[in-house]
Structure 1
Amino acid sequence: MISLEEVLTTINATRERRSYFANLVLENPETIPELLTLCNRIDDDISCKASWGLEFLCKKNLKAILPYLDQVIAIASRTYKHSAVRPMAKIFEILILGYYKQKSQEIINALTQTHREKITEICFDWLITDQKVAPKAYAMTTLYLLGTEFDWVHPELKITLENNYATGSAAYKARSRMVLKKIS
């Protein structure tokens, strides 16, 4: 059996290497628990690389993580390094798009209301804490879609975006305008 930690030492931020890693995990699905253990080592830089790999795994085959949603959400709630927060935020966006837009029956069956509520809480945390723009942008999209189900989300999202608009970067402002327009 391969050691994902050893493989991750050879992975860099290039799409090619992250894609290679995701394919390796897909070919060896029994390694997903090990991957999640590495993602959960939040104080260690290996967690960032593991999170990159998990994001690419989700892009290639989101269904692979459905049995592990409790763990993924728990890890995301504790993650604080930007290089790990960004892929976790992207995973949530992919998951929520699959649930609300693509209406994938497998995702609908796996993603419980409790999961969606926890994702909502985590995304609001990312939106109001000191994060870079990418996780905030992914959180905005995720929260907008969750707000189509949870009545309280859109009003809170609107207030949060309006309050942070003046101090946001150009990219933050652009995504905020897009989401605010959809809410209105």
Structure 2
Amino acid sequence: MDRRELYNRLEPLKAYKADRVDLCNLVVEYHQIPELIEFCHPKHDVSHQACWVLEQVFLLHEEKCLPHLGSLINLFALPINHSGMRSLLKISLLICQQFYHKKSSPYDELLTIDMRATLLDGCFGELIAATGKSANLIFATKSLYLLGQDFSWVHEQLPDAIEKHLDNPDNKGYRSGAIAIIKKLE
């Protein structure tokens, strides 16, 4: 599979998990992770489909993503649509959970302070913009809570950012997780 074929497979892709997993396995088999990350850029009309597949690559073949961690994290600085950003935010949460866990992980040496700052900016941007996108909001909020261990101002500003989403009826799925984070911050 080359770059053109990857694009041709991404273009008609729907959100069905089996299809995303199949394409994920092909991406890994043909060493196409850099090309997949490039297709995640919003300049490509397959950006959100590429992000969906990147999520599966990360979930199923995380070790293959480690050499590309910088490029992956740079996606958080880009204006990716909410559908694609949901996948990236899930990756962010998984990275943060491992990095801030007491057990050692590969991220202990790989995840620089600049990378964490990029994750932080992307998560805050989505928290501000993702009205009505409960999954995006909770992944961003949980990542920000963890990142607040390195950026103390985050814990000061996070409650206000959370509060503005709590009364939105479209965010019912976000409410309980967000309230739990507010309680941890008190």
TM-score w.r.t. length of structure 1? 0.88
Deviations 1:25-66 (A, max 9, x none): 22222x1111111111x1443111111000010111223222
Report the equivalent of 1:70: 70
**Identity among equivalent pairs (%):** 31
Distance in 2, Cα, partners of 1:75 & 1:130: 17
Secondary structure of residue in 2 paired with 1:152: helix
1:5-84 to 2 correspondences below 5 Å: 5-29=7-31, 31-40=32-41, 42-84=42-84
Question: AA paired with 2:154?
Answer: V
Report the equivalent of 1:129: 129
Distance in 1, Cα, partners of 2:7 & 2:104: 32
Secondary structure of residue in 1 paired with 2:61: helix
Query: How far is 1:84 from its partner?
Result: 1.1
| Structure 1 range deviating more: 51-60 or 163-172 | 163-172
Deviations 1:56-81 (A, max 9, x none): 10111223222222322222221331
Query: How far is 1:141 from its partner?
Result: 0.8
The runs of 5 or more residues in structure 1 that have no matched partner are none
Provide closer, same or farther for how the CA distance between residues 150 and 76 of structure 1 changes in structure 2, counting only shifts above 3 A: closer
Q: Is the contact made by 2:92 and 2:119 (CA closer than 8 Å) also made in structure 1?
A: yes
Distance in 2, Cα, partners of 1:161 & 1:47: 28
Q: Is the contact made by 1:90 and 1:138 (CA closer than 8 Å) also made in structure 2?
A: yes
| Structure 1 range deviating more: 44-53 or 9-18 | 9-18
Question: AA paired with 2:109?
Answer: N
Report the equivalent of 2:182: 180
CA-atom RMSD, angstroms? Answer: 1.9
Question: AA paired with 1:166?
Answer: D
The runs of 5 or more residues in structure 2 that have no matched partner are none
Distance in 1, Cα, partners of 2:102 & 2:93: 12
Provide closer, same or farther for how the CA distance between residues 9 and 164 of structure 1 changes in structure 2, counting only shifts above 3 A: closer
1:97 matched to 2:97: yes
TM-score w.r.t. length of structure 2? 0.88
Q: Is the contact made by 2:77 and 2:122 (CA closer than 8 Å) also made in structure 1?
A: yes
Report the equivalent of 2:112: 112
Query: How far is 1:104 from its partner?
Result: 4.3
When the two structures are aligned, how many residues end up with a matched partner? 182
Secondary structure of residue in 2 paired with 1:149: coil
Deviations 1:144-184 (A, max 9, x none): 11113322211111221124322362112222112112222
Distance in 2, Cα, partners of 1:67 & 1:79: 23
